[in-house]
Amino acid sequence: MTLMNPRYTLSILCLGIAAVMAPGCSDTTSPQQKVTPPDTAHYVTTFDLKTVAGTAPFMLDSEMTTESGVRYKPSALRFYVSQFSLLDSAGNPVEATLVDTAGIPLKYNLTFCDYVNPETQVVRFLARKGTYTGATFSIGVPSDPVDGTGFNHVDASQQTYPLNVDNDMYWGWNPGYIFFKIEGLAMVNKSWESFYYHVGTDGRLASIQLATPFTVKGAGRAATMLVNTNRLFVTPSGGAFPNPGGALSDRVVNSGRLADTVARNLAKSGFITLQP
């Protein structure tokens, strides 16, 4: 049997006592080693909207040019953003409640973006600090009146902004909301002619997933949502369609194949991208 040197035995004993006592003492004797609890607070965070037409700044009633060379002057650009979530590090959706400036959840959990009103050029939501791999949302008004999460077919006369009838985003002949609207003039055979693309109905809810990492450091801007109107006129495969400078049936749209195309372009052609 081998006995330990008494000097070592005493040293080990002292270390043991110190180790046992250390945590208890740290609160009072070593504040710089204090363990900070994780920040689970939700901050009022924003994606600020910036609208362009290709490389040119977007302005109402000003001339822009599509990627295929069609000249157009938009007079309105409006849409709803709904079903908003952030994507965590694993790419899973994380709830991000849409809120107002005071952090109060928006009544319908959707945001209305109307270019003519600068106050609406922001998507404001609650998020925890951290790094996210992207965001996912829809352009439109979801329809699921059964569980109360959708409002597309409710009695609009009973609703308030932004789902009130007078918000100019409602179809009285087929109750439901216009999800997305761009209107204006386009050059057609050397003449400025009107065009409009009104996209609505349940099947055209445009789901968008933006896989661009960004960090929420606290309250305030987390990223910029870049809205590029020229991408409305480009199909996901790169075709120049629809053509606002084309025939009347190509530039006056509220249903049918062209509305399907615009909804697809909204979702898949890079109409909205994210810039950290």
Q: Which residues bind other proteins (CB under 8 A)?
A: 153, 155-158, 164-166, 170, 172-175, 201, 255-256
Which is closer to other proteins, CB of 38 or CB of 203? Answer: 203
Closer CB to other proteins, 29 or 160, in the complex: 160
CA distance 22 to 242: 71
Least Å distance between CB 160 and other proteins? 9
Taking the least distance from each CB to other proteins, the nearer of 145 and 239 is: 145
**Least CB distance to other proteins at residue 211 (A):** 32
**Residue (165 or 252) nearer to other proteins, CB:** 165
Which residue number, 119 or 155, has a Cβ lying nearer to other proteins? Answer: 155
SS (H, E, C) 140-196: CCCCCCCCCCCCCCCCHHHCCCCCCHHHCCEECCCCEEEEEEEEEEEEECCEEEEEE
Residue among 60, 45, 49, 48 nearest 228 (CA): 49
Q: Nearest approach, Cβ of 155 to other proteins (angstroms)?
A: 5
Instruction: Name the DSSP class of 55.
Output: T
Bridge partners (DSSP) of residue 43 are 127
How far apart CA 169 and CA 181 sit, in angstroms, is 8
Backbone φ, ψ for residue 19 (5° rounding) = -65, -40
In the complex, the smallest distance separating the C-beta of residue 165 from other proteins, rounded to whole angstroms, is: 5
Name the minimum Å distance from CB 135 to other proteins: 30
Q: Beta 272-275 vs 206-210: how paired, if at all?
A: unpaired
Contact 171, 177 (CB under 8 A): yes
The answer to whether 81 and 266 have CB atoms below 8 angstroms apart is no
Contact 149, 50 (CB under 8 A): no
> Shortest approach of other proteins to residue 107 CB, angstroms?
15
119 or 166: CB nearest other proteins: 166
In the DSSP assignment, the letter for residue 36 is P
Closest approach, Cβ 124 to other proteins, in A, equals: 25
Nearer to other proteins, 8 or 173 (CB): 173
Q: b or e along 112-130 (b: 16 or more beta carbons within 10 Å of the residue's beta carbon)?
A: bbbbeeeeebbbbbbbbbe
